[in-house]
Every structure is written in C-alpha cells, then in structure tokens.
Structure 1
Amino acid sequence: MIEFNEKETEFLNSLEEARIATSHDDIPHVKPVSFVLNGNAIIIATDYETRTYKNLKINLNSSVIIDIYKSGGHKAILIQGTTEIIENGNEFKKLYDVFFEKFEWVRREPWKENEAPFLKIIPKNKISWGLDTK
C-alpha cells in the first residue's frame, strides 16, 4: 500500500484543486477537480454525465496531479491508481460530510446519495517533487 509521508500529507491537505486524468478509446482526458485527502485516498466529487465518470465506468485506472507551479520552485504530487465509485451508503455519507465542511460550493448546491458519486482514487504509485521530505 502506498502511503503519504508527513510533508506530502501537509501539502495535500493545504490545497483543494487537482487535475484528474482518465482515458477513453486510447484518448487521454484531463480536467480540474476539487479534492480531499481522506486516509490514504484522494476523493473527488463528479457528476454522472461527465466524461470522467463515463471513462471510469469502462476503465478504473486514473491519475491525479496536485501541484503549485512557481518557476524554480514547483511542488507537486503525481498519483496513479485505481478508482472506486462511491454512490451511496455510510462511506458516501462520511465523504459528503467532509466535502460539505470543506467546500462552500457543496453547501450552496447540496446533493444526495445516487445523485452524484464520489471517486476514491487508491494510489498504486506516487511521485512527489519540490517537497522537503527529509
């Protein structure tokens, strides 16, 4: 199991935007998303109509990059993994509460189980740079 060290965890908890990559018919698809670190997984909310969701229904492999670009001081974590789609149940409710607390847009436009799923990216590989991990 891939784990994040203390510096990586601090970095991930300090940000709220990432980019997720999926693919369909060998065509990459990348988009910006809001995320939270939950345990050792990256959690992303999506909608059923999105290309990302449709891609993951066929191929559960995904990649996520979380970064801050500053010339000469770029910081990033690249995560490659598999995705679980969470649509309802206790895990959905717990993740929803985390998103509700963190994001004002969730409080403005709430949703219920089976209206929009969460994507749980379970890291199989990670690479980080620009973070002092000593």
Structure 2
Amino acid sequence: MIEFTHNERKFLESLEESRIATSHNDIPHVKPVSYVFLNSFIFVATDYGTRTLQNLKKNPNVAISIDVYKSGEHKAVCIQGVTEIIEKGEEFKKIYDVFFEKFAWVRKEPWKENEAPFLKIIPKTKVSWGT
C-alpha cells in the first residue's frame, strides 16, 4: 500500500474536488468529481450509466489529480491506481455517511445501496509537489 506523508494527508483531507481519468479503447476520459480521502483510499461517487463507470468496468486502471493552482504556489497529489466498485454493504454505508456529512448535494438528493455506486481508488503510485 502507498504511504502518504502527513502533509499529503492534510492536503487530501482539505479539498473536495479533483479530476479523474479513465480510458475507453485507448481514448482518455477526464472529468471533475467530488471525492473523500479516507484510510489512504480515494472514494468518488458516481452514477450508473456514466462513461467513467463503464470504462472502469472494462479497465479498472485510474488516475486522479487533486490540486490547487495558485501562481508560484501550485500544490498537487497525483495518484495512479486501480478501482473497486462499491455498491452495497458495510463499506458502502460507511462511505455514504462520510459523503452525507461532507457534501450538501448528497443531503439534498440522498440515495441508497444499489442506486449509485462509489469508486474506491486503491493507490499504486503517487507523485506530489508543494504539499
């Protein structure tokens, strides 16, 4: 398992938006997503039918960039890893509770098991700067 430094952890815990990259027939697909950093994993909520989820079902490899750009003070953690799809069970409930607490959009439009999955990104490599 990849170890994150104290500063990387603080940085990852302080933000909520990132960009996730998947691939379909060797064509990259990148989109902004909300995320939670928990127990050295990145969790992303998605919907059934999204290009991201369809890509990950065929190819679980993923990259995610979590960064803040300020001229001369750019900070980032970029992670490459594999994805597990979490649709139900105890892990789903724990992740959902964290999302519910953190994001107003989840409280506004809640969902249940098997209605929308979470992506669990398991880091395999990382690079960071400015953190």
TM-score range, shorter chain: over 0.9
- Give the match for residue 36 of structure 1: 36
**In structure 1, what residue type is equivalent to 2:37?**
L
Residue type of the alignment partner of 1:65: S
- Who is 1:63 aligned against? 63
Distance, in Å, in 1 between the alignment partners of 2:106 and 2:22 is 24
Distance across 2 between alignment mates of 1:106 and 1:13: 18
Amino acid at match of 1:16: E
1:72 is paired with a residue of what secondary structure? coil
Stretches of structure 2 lacking an aligned partner (at least 5 in a row):
none
CA distance in 1, matches of 2:41, 2:124: 10
SS at match of 2:11: helix
CA–CA separation in structure 2 for the residues paired with 1:38 and 1:110: 20
Task: Return 5+ residue gaps in structure 1 as ranges.
Answer: none
Post-superposition CA distance 1:19-47 (Å, at most 9, x none): 00000000000000000001010000000
Corresponding letter in the other structure for 1:29: H
Q: How much does 1:3 deviate? A: 1.3
Moved over 2 A (4+): none
Shift of 1:130: 1.0
Deviation, 1:93, is 0.4
Alpha-carbon distance in 2 for matches of 1:37, 1:62: 16
2:80 aligned residue: 80
Using the TM superposition, give the Cα deviation of residue 120 of structure 1 relative to its aligned residue in structure 2, in angstroms.
0.3
CA RMSD after TM alignment: 0.5
- The 5 Å alignment of 1:1-134 reads 1-131=1-131
- What is the count of residue pairs matched by the alignment? 131
